[in-house]
Structure 1
Amino acid sequence: DQQVKFFWTIVGDSISIAARGEKKSGYLAIGFGSEMTNSYAYVGWFDRNGTGHVNTYWIDGESASAVHPTTENMTYVRCKSEEGIITLEFTRPLKPSCSHRDRPECKNMIDPTTPLKVIWAMGAKWTDGQLTERNMHSVTSQRPVRVMLTRGSAEADQDLRPVLGVHGFMMFLAWGILLPGGILSARYLKHIRGDGWFKIH
């Protein structure tokens, strides 16, 4: 979407990630998943004192009550703002080391050999207290970006539904109308004088 830049470096069993918004906002969030629902999110924001924070969440719905704080093992955490443009940075293990496997963050594993789907959102205000609908995003990515971590490349995730819809319609037209029409014209229109039946066929 050209509104958020995403950077990463893999060293050993850790990955360093940075994201930078290209427009002014109160907070910047990036998530791992096809959409914000059922994704792991990292939110860079500033409190009233101007101190930057990066908070982690598991999101399992579309309302503010579906945003659940998590505790991830992050190092080198930094959030800065330059004239309202937010940049967040952190380093985390590729595979979380958890003593309690039932926690959502324990499933937030990154496989460098598998494309990582990244989404983003920006909004006016964030808090580490009780979130409300006022904290929800105002601008989001249109679709996820597939990041090939080991190859160092990224591409927009293609939505094939329109293509499949056109393909289905054309197949119906070919096999459901044109083919039966050709067979019926050859069978029942031979009595017409001339070769009209053949042209229709």
Structure 2
Amino acid sequence: MSHRADYYLAPQSPWTYLGHERFAAMAAQAGAVVRVLPVDLGRIFPVSGGLPLQKRAPQRQAYRLVELRRFSEHLGIPLNVQPKYFPVAGDDAARLIIAVDLHDGTQAALTIAGAILRAVWAQERNIADAQVLGQLLAENGLQPQRLEESRSAPVQQRYDANTQEAADLGVFGAPTYAVDGELFWGQDRLEFVQRRLQS
């Protein structure tokens, strides 16, 4: 019996970026059924006790930069800890991932999500810019009309539903991986995710 892996992500999250390729590879190796679920952290934080980065205490903000550097070096994943386009609104990128998922399937959604995350954290690109999102589609062999489709009511409804589902499950940050309903928060928990997928 294959496991179900629900992937709650935010396309502007550095921690989602650091875990993305490893999670995708683990899930594929395990033959898991993956659901790619972009969520709106702006609606998750207020109901879960979280704060946007700018509102966190200075010592927390400073330590975050240390940890990002540490994980980037440890994992060998390039990352600009203070990229040019951050903070950045992630809603349009999240909706694009959903549109790709709806029309092209899970693997394509994982591909465009990875491209969007790299754009922010490794390539100094603005994912709130429609032109950049169009370029990312083209670079990954996806149809340009996905951008227009990402602005549709069904996509917004899916985004809202993902966010509500996450809040109802007790998700409070990104990335969160739920394997058969069991929550694992953060890319530093991927070892536990892997064990669960192999059980």
TM-score (norm 1): 0.26
Which structure is higher in strand share? 1
Query: Larger Cα Rg: Structure 1 or Structure 2?
Result: 1
Per residue, is there more helix in 1 or in 2?
2
